Amino acid sequence: MSYIPGQPVTAVVQRVEIHKLRQGENLILGFSIGGGIDQDPSQNPFSEDKTDKVNGWDMTMVTHDQARKRLTKRSEEVVRLLVTRQSLQKAVQQSMLS
Amino acid sequence: MFSRNHRSRVTVARGSALEMEFKRGRFRLSLFSDPPEDTELQRKLDHEIRMREGACKLLAACSQREQALEATKSLLVCNSRILSYMGELQRRKEAQVLGKTGRRPSDSGPPAERSPCRGRVCISDLRIPLMWKDTEYFKNKGDLHRWAVFLLLQLGEHIQDTEMILVDRTLTDISFQSNVLFAEAGPDFELRLELYGACVEEEGALTGAPKRLATKLSSSLGRSSGRRVRASLDSAGGSGSSPILLPTPAVGGPRYHLLAHTTLTLAAVQDGFRTHDLTLASHEENPAWLPLYGSVCCRLAAQPLCMTQPTASGTLRVQQAGEMQNWAQVHGVLKGTNLFCYRRPEDADTGEEPLLTIAINKETRVRAGELDQAVGRPFTLSISNQYGDDEVTHTLQTESREALQSWMEALWQLFFDMSQWKQCCDEIMKIETPASRKPPQALAKQGSLYHEMAIEPLDDIAAVTDILTQREGARLETPPPWLAMFTDQPALPNPCSPASVAPAPAWTHTLPWGRPRTFSLDAVPPDHSPRARSVAPLPPQRSPRTRGLCSKGQPRTWLQSPV
């Protein structure tokens, strides 16, 4: 089974809430993001988490620049992410069996 | 003069007392003039009239706004069904009358035109995205503006509604759980979808309004509504471009407004999710206006009866491959796109494997008569299919001339149905019987995911799975399709992935972050930060021009940025 980019996908997600840190005069999150719909996914060294939503903004169809902009808004102190990762599926399955 | 088998006609003169009785819903059609389908429709009409009376009483007794919203919705749905059934009854009567006057008994009459088989149409997983403006979304003011919405679906004279959902600005989409099934659709069906909304907060301070509303609605339809009733009775039965629901004639009480609508036809049917455009019907000034994105996603599936039920069956003799004189007797069943030949008639029911399966599809050719001059084998038909370069022909012998005729007729009907139902006859689309709707939870506040799942610490998978198991027993035996996002082989040659998050590094030392910078997509960024950016310019691959965002060919970079 595969998914087709641009078609809706239902996934198991985890909500993550991050309060930005203050560094100098900037508010930062403290990690990096990679990828985007305009990037080549075969060069992804991590292939771990994928971000579906940032503060309500849909991130499944964004370019790298758009993603970065939405995470670095100066006016927001808190970022709420909906994240999906492969290990979520295994974890849910295991909890179902037990 | 009465003749024994002649049905008497019933016509209703415009403006007559009988027509008024029609409108009041208190008519009774004569028993002598009803064919069986009409009594069924009559029964449904009576049922709706009783439901309507019940809804009026309920509305009068409501004290809470949300209950009044539910009751008003039931009342409006009943009203629209009553109108629709009455219009259908009237049309059928007119068709009967016209049918009789146009034909004389002495004519043999032209052969009946072939009509396509009926089918079941099911629409499910309806989702309407919303588009809140920045300011609306992130304001943390005290009161939350809320709306009550539901979808009304009409196919032919059948009207169905979804459950009512309360919407506020924390929702990104309106998702309906309902599965709506229409049983008697033709391939030319038009499924009209309408979204109605009402404010949950009172539009004006009017107390005691529900009672007045109820009495007014139960006694008469009012003048402007009466005009609409007449108009819809006059029109040729279809809803045309006017909304299905009557506007509420009353005073106070919740008022539903039409927010958007669209019509779906056979072209929209697919065994999967599709997005369709919505025609928006209200403006910002309307109190019930919602910021709709302008589309609706759903799964619209159709199962023509020719695919799920056998259309012909009987004894056949099949010429065995390679053995010219040896014909085996089988029990043939024509169902969907196959002719199954079973050893015995009972095998078809017990699920035994058929001896032989012959495919019947758009390219199959069928001929009556003898192909290979088999001596003494009359009443044969041959079925030819093309498999690549080979043509495979099966020759079947039927029992008699009449049997041959009926098999040919069944095959012609099947070909006709396939030409009408088009993509629905390629493979059977699965339709789940809609579960009975749970009673509306009056005060279930639909929180968004953000408010429901509180997870601390950040990375606790166990907490997530606990919450998930509590919510619903998900069916997780097979890997769900979304896991494909994590494989390296995406489906299309245009690989695009959602933005990924790399794990956070340990904050043991300060890093000269500076302000995040914007880099152009094609440029190789200078290596500012101590963390190396993996940008590997691949040798340019000239791929054919693809649609969408990556129109410059294959993306060649994997940018990372600190945030």
Does a structural domain hold residue A49? Answer: yes
pLDDT of residue B353: 86
Alpha-carbon distances, residue A40 vs A35, A89, B188, B494, B555 (angstroms): 7, 24, 44, 9, 5
Does a structural domain hold residue A5? Answer: no
Outline where B272-400 has alpha helix (H): 305-308, 347-350
Highest mean pLDDT among B48-57, B465-474, B503-512: B48-57
Whether residue B500 and residue A71 make contact (CB cut-off 8 A), yes or no, is no
Whether residue B521 and residue A65 make contact (CB cut-off 8 A), yes or no, is yes
**How, if at all, do strands A49-54 and A32-34 pair?**
unpaired
* Per-residue exposure over B174-208, b if at least 16 CB sit within 10 Å of its own CB, e if not: bebebbbbbeebbbebebbbbbbbbbbeeeeeeee
- What average pLDDT does the segment B15-34 reach? 55
Question: Confidence band (pLDDT; 50, 70, 90) for B515?
Answer: very low
Which chain A residues are Cβ-neighbours of B549 within 8 angstroms?
Answer: 37-38, 63
- pLDDT tens for residues A24-49? 777 777 777 777 777 777 666 665 66
- What average pLDDT does the segment B279-298 reach? 86
- What average pLDDT does the segment B135-143 reach? 54
Whether residue B449 and residue A92 make contact (CB cut-off 8 A), yes or no, is no
pTM: predicted TM-score of the whole model, two decimal places:
0.55
Worst-scoring range by mean pLDDT, B328-332, B345-349, B461-465?
B461-465
The nearest CA of chain B is from the CA of A24 a distance in Å of 9
Does a structural domain hold residue A34? Answer: yes
Nearest chain A residue to B559 by CA distance is A34
Scan residues 17-36 of A and list those with Cβ closer than 8 Å to B: 17-18, 23, 26, 28-36
- Domain of A54 in residue numbering reads as 11-95
Whether residue B491 and residue A31 make contact (CB cut-off 8 A), yes or no, is no
Does a structural domain hold residue A2? Answer: no
Give the H or E element holding residue B263.
Answer: strand B257-264
**Residues A19 and A55 sit within 8 Å (Cβ to Cβ):** no
Nearest chain A residue to B171 by CA distance is A56
Which chain A residues are Cβ-neighbours of B537 within 8 angstroms?
Answer: none
Question: Confidence band (pLDDT; 50, 70, 90) for B253?
Answer: low
pLDDT surpasses 50 at B540: no
pLDDT of residue B525: 41
| Residue A98 near chain B (CB below 8 Å) | no
Scan residues 52-71 of A and list those with Cβ closer than 8 Å to B: 52-53, 55-56, 58-65, 67-68, 71
pLDDT surpasses 90 at B153: yes
Does a structural domain hold residue A4? Answer: no
Which chain B residues are Cβ-neighbours of A53 within 8 angstroms?
Answer: 172
Which chain A residues are Cβ-neighbours of B480 within 8 angstroms?
Answer: 10-12, 89
Closest CA to B520 of B496, B488, B552, B543: B552
* Per-residue exposure over B502-516, b if at least 16 CB sit within 10 Å of its own CB, e if not: beeeeeeeeeeeeee
Round to whole Å and give the CA distance between B4 and B6: 6
B399: amino acid identity, one letter: E
B406 Cβ neighbours under 8 A, 6+ residues apart: B312, B314
pLDDT of residue B81: 92
Q: Mutual orientation of helices B36-61 and B65-102 as an angle, nearest 10°?
A: 160
Closest CA to A83 of A66, A67, A63, A65: A67
pLDDT of residue B30: 45
**CATH value at residue A53:** 2.30.42.10
Reported in sequence order, the residue ranges of B37-145 that DSSP labels E, i.e. its strands, are 119-129
Stronger pLDDT, A50 or B131, i.e. the higher one: B131
B373 backbone φψ class: left, alpha, beta (φ>0; ψ -120 to 50): left
- What average pLDDT does the segment A86-90 reach? 72
pLDDT surpasses 90 at B302: yes
Q: Which residue in B470, B477, B486, B534 has the most chain A C-beta atoms within 10 A of its own C-beta, making it the best mutation to test that interface? A: B486
Which chain B residues are Cβ-neighbours of A71 within 8 angstroms?
Answer: 563
Does a structural domain hold residue A3? Answer: no
Worst-scoring range by mean pLDDT, B95-104, B218-227, B437-446, B511-520?
B511-520
**Helix (H, G, I), strand (E, B), or coil: what is residue B66?**
helix
Which chain A residues are Cβ-neighbours of B497 within 8 angstroms?
Answer: 5, 35-37, 39, 41, 44, 50
pLDDT of residue B543: 38
Q: Token pair for residue B310?
A: 């056998």
Interface A:B, Cβ pairs < 8 A:
233
Worst-scoring range by mean pLDDT, A54-68, B212-226, B324-338, B425-439?
B212-226
Q: What is the DSSP code (8-state) at residue B262?
A: E
- pLDDT tens for residues B432-471? 776 555 444 433 344 444 444 444 444 455 555 555 555 5
The nearest CA of chain B is from the CA of A79 a distance in Å of 11
Does a structural domain hold residue A59? Answer: yes
* Tally of domains in chain A: 1
Does a structural domain hold residue A6? Answer: no
